[in-house]
């Protein structure tokens, strides 16, 4: 029993847009704009997250791997899923992403962290903005170190 996951695990979804689809090595792939840096649980723990289209699709269902744009073997959200053969711009939702989604996200491969939106009935509230390029390089360029020397920072 894990209280945090029990309380919020089912309360979050990761919504991603299809960038493109491809066939390779006898497999079908939906490449989406979210990757292992956004939801690492499938890669680390082989965790299963149900993945569904946000809107109903009349496309026939095919067996697909839902993968991110990072181009690594671990960059997937789901393998061998029965989903419609969605096109560019269509949305998918990975369910049960409320626990550890943002907490375990990273800027791996120079990718910015996603925004977080709270939905309450028909209302929604932006609770964390999507990162900007400045957030990615802030500590690398020294812009976060004001009026200190490197010696003061390491002391």
Tell me the catalytic residues.
71
Number of CB atoms found within 10 A of residue 8's CB: 15
Instruction: For 44, list phi and psi in degrees, rounded to 5.
Output: -75, -45
Check residue 131 and report its DSSP letter: P
Q: Determine contact, residues 118/97, Cβ cutoff 8 Å.
A: no
């Amino acid at each position: 029993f894990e209280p945090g996951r029990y309380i919020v695990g089912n309360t979050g979804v990761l919504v991603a847009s299809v960038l493109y689809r491809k066939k390779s090595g006898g497999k079908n792939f939906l490449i989406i704009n979210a990757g292992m840096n956004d939801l690492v649980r499938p890669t680390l723990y082989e965790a299963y997250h149900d993945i569904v289209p946000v809107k109903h699709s009349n496309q026939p269902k095919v067996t697909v791997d839902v993968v991110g744009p990072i181009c690594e073997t671990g960059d997937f959200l789901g393998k061998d899923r029965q989903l419609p053969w969605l096109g560019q711009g269509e949305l998918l939702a990975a369910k049960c992403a409320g626990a550890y989604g943002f907490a375990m996200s990273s800027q791996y491969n120079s990718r910015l962290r996603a925004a977080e939106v709270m939905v309450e009935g028909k209302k929604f509230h932006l609770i964390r903005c999507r990162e900007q390029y400045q957030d990615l390089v802030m500590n690398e360029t020294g812009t976060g170190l004001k009026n200190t020397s490197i010696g003061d920072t390491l002391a």
